[in-house]
Chains A and B, each alone.
Chain A
Amino acid sequence: MTWSRDALAGKIPVTLVTGFLGSGKTTLISKLLLHPDMRRVAVVINEMGEIGIDHDLVTVSSENITLLANGCICCSVRTDLQETLRDLFAQRRVGEVFDFDRVIVETTGLADPAPLVQTLASDTLLAAHYRLDGLITLVDGLHGEGQIDQQTEAVKQIAIADKILVTKTDLTSADHLETLCERIRQLNSQSPIEFIQQGEVDPKRLIDLGLSSSRASLKTLQFLGEALTVDAVSADVTGSGRYLGQRSATHNSAVKTLSLRFTEPFEWLSFSSALELLTTLRGPDLLRLKGIINVDGDPVVIQGVQHIIDTPVKMDRWPSEDKDSRLVFIVRNMELDVIRNLFQAVGAIKSASTSTT
């Protein structure tokens, strides 16, 4: 195969860290900033004052950017994240900011993380230089359950996360944690859950959650949630394999994970029309979407949050023998059959050039 450029390789990965008020974000970020393995990482925070950086550790600083002794670049948001990320790249290019190879963003507690994810996809300048590497949600080990019960933001943050960190696990009982994890699983059946204490986490646990290359590999499967993990092996509700199934919560049946599989290849036009129809009509309830689509035989990875779908990535080859189209949706108030029927119906309408009738 002739070499062609990897569209994702050169993009700076961005990790968004979110979590409800009091979930421990500030503690986590403060510890992260001082971790020895944070060289060439830029951390975007809301306010310098909030974090309280020990000034002995500062080597260089300007209005809103501080270079810490461990090589970490700490940057506070001025107007909004969009402008901050643009400025960071521009300043990096002229040498005003030392080179960084990834960005970790602390989002505010009440934030709906979806708009931030969408910004990275829809702002063409940001999309040219950055890619979303992961959305990490912190869940308060003590109060998480109550937040899930009462706060739609908390539910959403968990549902669309690529990884969930349960905090303050040293302050609560194992039973309590087990119940909490079950509640989390009901909202997000695929993303790994980890426990942290005192905000201590190795930066390596926060990164590499996203699609980092258009060259297919095991990592592609991991991104799609298909690599062999305990969850993947467990039986699905309908008992017919991991796909063609849905998992829903007993407490919060509004949010579900729906998995679909199609054996017939799609034409791009019909697939994208069906997806567009779905996002137009039910965008706000399509919390997260990830999948790999067989487009006339070629593998195309798609992902999106609500009504914004990222630029599809054509992979250089299939990551495994499985060449069916597979989609995983995290939705609110929608049924599996509705979505499946839509894609099957639209998929059956071939375009004029291939239609025989």
Chain B
Amino acid sequence: MLNAPQSASRADQTLSLNMKLLAHHELAGFGGLGEGMGMQLTSDGRRILWLAHESAPKNFSGVDVTDPQNPKLIVQTELPHMKLRSNSLDVVGNIMVVAYQTTTVGIKPAGIDIFDVSQPETPRLLSHFDCSGPYSRGVHAVWFVDGRYVHMSSGASDFQPRNPLDDQFYRIIDIIDPEKPVEVGRWWYPGTREGDEAPPPPRLPAQFDMGFRTHNTNVFPEQPNRAFIGYIDGGAVVLDISDMKNIKVVSQWNHSPPFNGFTHTVLPLFDRGLWIVSDECVQDNGADWPKLVWVVDSRNEANPVPIGTFPAPPYDAFAKRGGRFGAHNLHENLPGPTSFRSDTIIVGSFFNAGVRVYDTSNPYQVQEIAYFVPGAPKLSPAGAIQLNDVYVDDRRIVYTVDRFTGGLYILEMNI
């Protein structure tokens, strides 16, 4: 070739189709966000987007997004020490639940904090539920949408895993009295706990072994007796939680092996008898590719059938762009007045491939209808955008966050 063609994977490029950036906020230099995104409507008519940071020193930030083109950081809190991350939170009304996970077992604080955020500038701590212990790193992810139960991925003082990677399982905490949280149920993958009758589950090859551990534990008002669990290397698990003291498995599907594990989110589309299941990419430079979003026919609980995958972002363009490339979080159709909900439009974050919007009207032929890939944020150690999570509000405004330094991106879709 006489003229060197434009490289296809320039991390400084912004790529967009049918999405427009309304605002970008770097959160006062602490632009590393985790997987906790929740929206509150305050009594004085403001919309506050609560964001959990990915790692220390910051805990969570509150951003006023009443005007999506002019986001304002109104509060940013600190973690008590550096061996800690919050990473996850949810808010219902004026009650916010924040997770704490430690870098090693046996230290504190590990568990959840429950805050009253009626005055968002000054969150008021109501209680702490302790999950620390000799084998526990605390809580990785929380799901709190009905105002009463916190469904979470957590360790416990009395839970000794056979394999240290399997240290978090499903716990249900009742916070009907937010000052007195009480565990009311738990379930773990059989064979992962010391003392289990079941044998330990066979593990993935060492380079992909991320553990038989819960990640997302979602429960929806359409079917409150079901918990939809991304059990990382344990695949997709659906539990009957009608009797929380006696939780049973009703559905299971695992693409691994032969795939590389890490089932992250199971999003049910109730009226269509489908699950949208996302993996999480956890290695840089495409080392654990393919990490995809799957479509599963769930009409028969006893036999979930995968019927397709979302068209992936182009590998050649992104795999070596910098950092992670692949699926991670989806906007999960949260209940409540502030969240977008759709049976067909699914929005996901894909690390260096940005945020992407899909139309699943034909579940056998999902279409990518919009995307936004920001250019590499300043000072990012990955050298490229690493969109970590996404939230879509009832105004169909898309909020997405970078894992390291980029902060918050606010977008509108043309779909």
Which residues does A use to contact B, with CB under 8 Å? 3, 5-6, 9-10, 60-63, 92-97, 99, 128
- Nearest residue in A to B370 (C-beta to C-beta)? A10
User: Which chain A positions have C-beta within 8 A of B6?
Assistant: 60, 62, 95-97
* Cα–Cα, bound, A60→B5 (Å): 8
Bound CA span A97–B10, Å: 11
Interface set, chain B 360-412, CB cutoff 8 A to A: 367, 369-370, 373, 396
The answer on a CB contact under 8 Å between B8 and A96 is yes
Q: Is the CB of B13 within 8 A of A62?
A: no
Give bound CA distance, A93 to B396, whole Å: 23
Asked if B5 and A96 sit within 8 Å, CB to CB, the answer is: yes
**B367 engages A62 (CB within 8 Å):** no
Interface string of B127-147 (1 = CB under 8 A from A): 000000000000000000000
* Chain B positions within 8 Å of A94 at CB level: 8-9, 314, 316-317
In this complex, the interface size class of chain B, counting residues with CB under 8 Å from chain A, is 20 to 34
Report the minimum CB–CB distance from B24 to chain A (whole Å): 17
Q: Closest residue to B342 on the A side, CB-wise?
A: A3
Assuming the contacts A10-B369, A94-B317, asked whether A62 and B3 have C-beta atoms less than 8 A apart, the reply is yes
Contact of A5 with B18 at beta-carbon distance under 8 Å, contacts A62-B5, A62-B6, A95-B317 already known:
no
- Interface hub of B16, B316, B344, B414 (most chain A Cβ within 10 A): B414
Q: Are B1 and A62 in contact (CB under 8 A)?
A: yes
| Interchain CB contact (< 8 A) of A63 among B3, B369, B370 | B3
Chain B 1-24 interface 0/1 with A at a Cβ cutoff of 8 Å (1 = within): 101011011100111111000000
CB atoms of B345 and A5 under 8 A apart? yes
A5 CB contacts on chain B under 8 angstroms? 344-345, 359, 369, 415
6 example contacts (A-B, Cβ-Cβ < 8 A) are as follows A10-B370, A62-B5, A63-B3, A92-B15, A95-B6, A99-B14
Q: CA A247 – CA B8 in complex, angstroms? A: 54
Contact call B415/A10, Cβ cutoff below 8 A: yes
List chain A residues, Cβ under 8 A from B15.
92-93, 95, 99
**Separation of A61 and B138 alpha carbons in the complex (Å):** 54
Residue of A whose beta carbon sits closest to that of B344 = A5
| Bound complex: CA A113 to CA B18 (Å) | 28
Chain B residues, Cβ within 8 Å of A93: 15, 17, 314, 317
| Interfacial chain B residues near A3, Cβ < 8 Å | 396
Q: How far is the CB of B74 from chain A (nearest CB, A)?
A: 29
B314–A99 CB distance below 8 A: no
Contact, CB under 8 Å: B16 / A95: no
B345 x A95 contact (CB < 8 A): no
CB contacts (< 8 Å) of A60 on chain B: these are: 6
Instruction: Encode contact with A along B257-273: 1 for CB under 8 Å, 0 otherwise.
Output: 00000000000000000
B13 pairs with A95, CB closer than 8 A: yes
Given pairs A10-B369, A60-B6, A63-B3, 6 additional interface contacts (CB within 8 A):
A10-B17, A62-B3, A93-B17, A94-B317, A95-B13, A97-B6
User: B17: which A residues are within 8 A, CB to CB?
Assistant: 10, 92-93, 99
- Residues A9 and B1 in contact, CB atoms below 8 Å apart: no
The CB with the most chain B CB atoms within 10 A, among A61, A63, A94, A97, is that of A94
Residues in chain A near residue B373, CB distance under 8 A: 95
Interface hub of B6, B13, B314, B359 (most chain A Cβ within 10 A): B6
In the complex formed, the residue of A with least CB distance to B1 is A63
Report chain B residues within 8 Å CB of A128. 367
| Main SS class of interface, A | loop
Which residues of A are found within 8 Å of B9, using beta-carbon distances?
94-95
CB nearest neighbor in A for B14: A99
For A2, give the chain B residue with the smallest CB separation: B342
- Measured between beta carbons, the chain B residues less than 8 angstroms from A6 are 415
How far in angstroms is the closest Cβ of chain A from B356? 11
Q: Is the CB of B10 within 8 A of A95?
A: yes
Look across to chain A and name the residue whose beta carbon is closest to the beta carbon of B414: A9
Decide if B414 touches A10 in the complex (CB within 8 Å): yes
Q: How many angstroms between the C-alpha atoms of A6 and B396 in the bound complex?
A: 13
Contacts of B5 in A (CB 8 A): 62-63, 96
Q: Which residues of A contact B316 (CB under 8 A)?
A: 94
Residue of A at shortest CB range from B396?
Answer: A3
Q: Do B414 and A99 touch (CB < 8 A)?
A: no
Bound-complex Cα distance A9 to B18 (A): 8
Cβ contact within 8 Å between A99 and B317: no
**Bound-complex Cα distance A97 to B373 (A):** 14
Nearest chain A CB to B372 CB, angstrom units: 10
Name the distance in Å between A67's Cβ and chain B's nearest Cβ.
8
Interfacial chain A residues near B13, Cβ < 8 Å: 95
Chain A: which residue is nearest B9 at the CB level? A95
A9–B357 alpha-carbon span in the complex (Å): 14
Q: A60-B6, A61-B3, A94-B8 are in contact. Are A10 and B314 (CB under 8 A)?
A: no
CB-defined contacts of B415 to chain A, threshold 8 Å: 5-6, 9-10
CA distance A93 to B314 in the complex (A): 8
Can you list the 5 inter-chain pairs with the closest CB atoms, starting with the nearest? A94-B317, A10-B18, A62-B5, A94-B8, A94-B314
Q: How many Å from the CB of B174 to the closest CB on chain A? A: 34
Rounded to whole angstroms, the CA-CA distance of A109 and B367 in the bound complex is 36
- The smallest C-beta distance from A58 to any residue of chain B, in angstroms, reads 10
CA–CA, A61 and B13, complex, Å? 17
| Bound CA–CA A247/B17 (angstroms) | 43
* Residues 326-377 of B at the A interface (beta carbon under 8 Å): 344-345, 359, 367, 369-370, 373
Contacts of B367 in A (CB 8 A): 128
Q: How far is B373's CA from A1's CA once the two chains are assembled, in angstroms? A: 32
| Cα separation A3 to B6 with both chains bound (whole Å) | 39
Question: In the complex, which residues of chain A have a beta carbon less than 8 angstroms from the beta carbon of B10?
Answer: 95
- A contact residues around B369 at 8 Å (CB): 5, 10
| Nearest neighbor of A4 in chain B, beta-carbon distance | B344
Q: How far is the CB of B271 from chain A (nearest CB, A)?
A: 12
Which chain B residue has the least Cβ–Cβ distance from A58? B3
Give Cα A63 to B1, complex, Å: 8
Q: Give A67's nearest chain B residue, CB to CB.
A: B6
Residues of A within 8 A of B414 (CB): 9-10
A95 to B8, CA, bound (A): 5
Tell me, rounded to whole Å, the shortest Cβ–Cβ distance linking A126 to chain B: 14
In the bound complex, what is the Cα–Cα distance between A92 and B3 (angstroms)? 18
What residues of A have a CB within 8 angstroms of the CB of B317 in the complex?
93-95
CA distance A6 to B414 in the complex (A): 8
